[in-house]
Amino acid sequence: MIERRKMGSNLNERIVKIILPNMIGYECIAMSSLASFASMFDYPPERIEDLKTLVAEAAINAMQHGNMGRQDAVVTIHINFKKNAIQILVMDEGDGIKEVPPKPNIKRIINELDHPIKLGVFLIQELADEVEFNVDNNKGHCLRMVVKK
C-alpha cells in the first residue's frame, strides 16, 4: 500500500490556477479541485464542504452575472494556502458587483413568500472568514475569499 505524502509545506504560497469555460456545470471541476487542495492541508470535512459551496456559488455567479452567460468568456480561479488559510480568487470578465444585496429573509424564502434569489452572495458571506468584492485585477471582476480551518 502506498502512503499518501502530505504536500502542505511544498505547496505553501503556491497558486493553483483553474480556467473554466463559461458554462454551468463546469463549477464542479473547481469544487473537486478545491476539495483535494484543502485535504492536503488537513482541512476538516465540514470546512471542505463550505469551500466547495463557496467556489460553486462564486463560479456560477461569475458565469451568469459577471460574464452574462457569454459562451466566449471564461472564469479563472486561483487557489493558494497562505498564513494558515486558503485564499480563493474568482475572476470573470464583468464590471463587478454594483452593490452587495441585503441579507435575504430565509423564513420568507422557506415559506415561498420570496424568491430564492441573491442567496449565492449571502452564502459566500456566511461561509467565508473574509470576503472582498471588486478586487482590482485589471481584467474584470475579482472576488476574494479566505477560509480558515
Helix-then-strand count for the chain, H and E = 5, 5
Q: Give the pLDDT of residue 1.
A: 39
Q: Give the pLDDT of residue 107.
A: 86
Q: Give the pLDDT of residue 140.
A: 84
The reply to whether 48 falls in a domain is yes
Question: Cα-Cα-Cα-Cα dihedral of 40, 44, 49, 54, to 10°?
Answer: -70
* Segments of the chain with pLDDT less than 50: 1-8
The count of domains in the chain is 1
Are 120 and 57 within 8 A, CB to CB? yes
The reply to whether 70 falls in a domain is yes
The reply to whether 1 falls in a domain is no
* Domain carrying residue 15: 8-148
The reply to whether 64 falls in a domain is yes
Q: Give the pLDDT of residue 13.
A: 67
Q: What is the pTM of this model?
A: 0.86
